[in-house]
């Protein structure tokens, strides 16, 4: 992971983050919306609603992860939802995703969280391999449901 730096992102990183976030959304077949990505991330940051880590390879934005705080009622403890993780195509295979996952876990532990959770597409085998290599366990106990409200 030579030349890789991962740090908590701030408002000064919004331009770089918005480009990565827009590419992430397009990966999940959403239309390009750079201005909307910038606004969305700016709101999360200014309201303290998420924590974002930016990965840079040799000083260039290479990826990010975004964590949302939550709780487990059964466990009566803090958890974090690792909602977004993206590595720019040109930076893949260079340890960026692994570095982001490790930094997220380090942060969550320091915040007193008992676990991190994430969801990924069932056909995103590359990401699944990285998660499992880093010790993440697939949930075989619970099913996920959702209710659209739009």
**Would strands 115-117 and 4-8 be described as parallel, antiparallel, or unpaired?**
unpaired
Query: What are 95-148's pLDDT values in tens digits?
Result: 999 999 999 999 999 999 999 999 998 999 999 999 999 999 999 998 889 899
Question: Which residues have C-beta within 8 Å of that of residue 10, sequence separation ≥ 6?
Answer: 45
pLDDT at 1 over 60: no
pLDDT at 36 over 90: yes
Q: Which residues of 10-33 are buried (b: 16+ CB within 10 A; e: fewer)?
A: eeebbebbbebbbbbbeeeeeeee
pLDDT at residue 150, as a whole number: 87
What average pLDDT is seen over the chain?
95
The arithmetic mean of pLDDT across residues 43-69, rounded, is 97
pLDDT at residue 143, as a whole number: 87
Decide: pTM greater than 0.75. yes
pLDDT-derived band at 2 (thresholds 50, 70, 90) equals low
The structural architecture, per CATH, of the domain 4-133 is 3-Layer(aba) Sandwich (3.40)
Quick one: angle between helices 96-110 and 125-133, nearest 10? Answer: 50
What tokens does 77 get? 């403890």
Percent of the chain scored above 70 by pLDDT? Answer: 99
């Amino acid at each position: 992971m030579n030349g890789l730096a991962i740090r908590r992102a701030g408002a000064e990183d919004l331009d770089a983050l918005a480009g990565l976030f827009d590419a992430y959304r397009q990966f999940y077949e959403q239309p390009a919306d750079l201005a909307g990505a910038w606004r969305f991330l700016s709101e999360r940051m200014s309201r303290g609603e998420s924590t974002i880590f930016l990965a840079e390879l040799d000083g260039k934005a290479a990826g990010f992860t975004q964590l949302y705080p939550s709780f487990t009622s059964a466990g009566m403890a803090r958890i974090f939802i690792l909602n977004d993780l993206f590595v720019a195509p040109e930076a893949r295979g260079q340890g960026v995703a692994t570095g982001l996952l490790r930094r997220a876990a380090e942060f969550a532990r320091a915040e007193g969280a008992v676990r991190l959770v994430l969801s990924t597409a069932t056909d995103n085998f590359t990401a699944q391999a990285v998660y499992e290599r880093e010790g993440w366990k697939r949930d075989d106990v619970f099913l996920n449901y959702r209710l659209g409200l739009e």
